Amino acid sequence: MAELLLPWYRRCGRHDLPWRKTQDDYALWLAEILLQQTQVRTALPYYGRLLAHFPRWQDLASAPLDAVLAQWSGLGYYARARNAHRAAQMVVRDHGGRFPKDRASAMALPGVGRSTAAAVLASAYGQDEAILDANARRVLFRTAGLVGEPRSAANDRRLWQLAAMETPRGTAHDYNQAIQDLGAIHCRSRRPDCPGCPLRPRCRAAARPELLNRYEQTHRSDRPQRYATLLLARDAAGRVLLHRRPEHGIWGGLWSLPILDASQILTDPDQRAQALERYASACGLRLKAQSLDPVRRHLFSHFQLEYAVLHAQLRAEVVADGDSGLVCQDIGSALGLGLPSPIRRLLEQLD
C-alpha cells in the first residue's frame, strides 16, 4: 500500500494543516486529541486557540480546568478536555514535560489510546508506529474486503495486524498522514470517491457496494429525540444562575443553566410551577416563574435534544464560590466559563 499511497500523498496530501508543519510533541498530541471524533475543519480554529492560550505542556497543566473548558466550549466530547488537562499534568510531573517515548507510558495518559499514542510517537520521534484511527480503519477494512461488524473484536485484531504489516519502516509518519488523508478525501464513509483513489487497483471492496456502504453514517432524522426544560434565573442585578454539570453525561464538567426536567418540556403552567418549587426547595432558593421561551433544538452525536428555557426571577443570594455546584454570575463573567455552545449562544443574546 505504501508504494501506492506515498506518491499520492506527496501530490495530493493536506500538507497545509498546521500540525503537519511541526515535530513538537505537545502540538502534535494536542492535534490528535482534538481530532478524536471531530473533523479537521471543525478542529482547526480550536487548535489555534488552544495553542495560543496554552502553548506548552506546562501552560496547560497549570491552567484552571475552567479556563481549559472555556476554550474548548462548543467542540463537544468534553471528557477530552478534562483528560487533556490531566494528561498534561502527568507529562509535566512524571515525564519531564515531554510526551513519553514508549507506547505503554504514552497509553497510560488519560485520553491516549493505542492509535493516538502511535501517531504522536511516529510524528514527533520518527518511530515505526502504525495507527488505526477512523480513516485508517475504513481504508484497511475496505481494501482487505473484510466482512462483518467493522468494530468487532475479531475485525479489530485483524485490522491492527494489517496496519502493522502495511506501515513501512522509516516512513511511518508520512504513511500515517497519507492513509488518514486518503480516508478523508477518497475513502469517505459516505459517497466514497473510488475512481480517483490510488488504492483502487488492490481494493477488494471497490466493486462491492455492500462493503463500501457499511460505513454509512446514521442520518440525523434517525437519531433518538430527547426533551428538557432549562431554567434561566436572574437576580435583580441581572446575574444568572449556573450549575456545574456532573463529569459524566452530556456537557460533563461544564457550567450550564439548571435543568428543571430532563425528560419533557414543561408546557403546562402547573407542571412548571411544581418543578420550580421542587428545585427552589432543594437548593434553598426563592424563585418566581416568568415566561417560557419557544422550543429550541440542539444536535448531539447520538441524539437530538428539544428544550425550552423557563425564565425566572431569583430572589435569594447564591454563594459564588461554586462549592455547592451553583454560582450566580454577571453575563460577562459567565461567558468566561466553560459553557455548552447552546447555553453560550443564549447568554450572548442576553448580554
Domain residue extents for the chain: 2-215, 221-350
| pLDDT over 70 (residue 317) | no
Residues identified as active-site: 32
Which cell goes with 298? 440542539
pLDDT of residue 147: 84
Q: Backbone phi, then psi, for 314, in 5-degree steps?
A: -95, 125
Within 13 Å of residue 215, how many CA atoms lie on the same side as its CB?
23
Confidence of residue 351 (pLDDT cuts 50, 70, 90): low
Share of the chain above pLDDT 90, in %: 64
Confidence of residue 102 (pLDDT cuts 50, 70, 90): very high
Specify the range with the lowest mean pLDDT, choosing from 69-78, 136-145, 264-273, 317-326: 317-326
Distance CA 69, CA 77 (A): 11
pLDDT of residue 252: 83
Specify the range with the lowest mean pLDDT, choosing from 60-64, 94-98, 165-169, 297-301: 297-301
85: CB partners within 8 A, 6+ apart: 60, 61, 63, 65, 68
The structural architecture, per CATH, of the domain 2-215 is Orthogonal Bundle (1.10)
Distance of CA 74 to the CA centre of its chain: 9
CB 19 within 8 A of CB 47: yes
Distance CA 64, CA 146 (A): 46
CB 173 within 8 A of CB 131: no
pLDDT of residue 214: 66
pLDDT of residue 299: 81
CB 235 within 8 A of CB 260: no
Buried b (16+ CB within 10 A) or exposed e, 18-44: ebeeeebbbbbbbbbbbbbebebeebb
pLDDT of residue 218: 38
Average pLDDT, rounded, for the chain: 90
CATH class of 221-350: alpha beta
Mean pLDDT of 213-227: 64
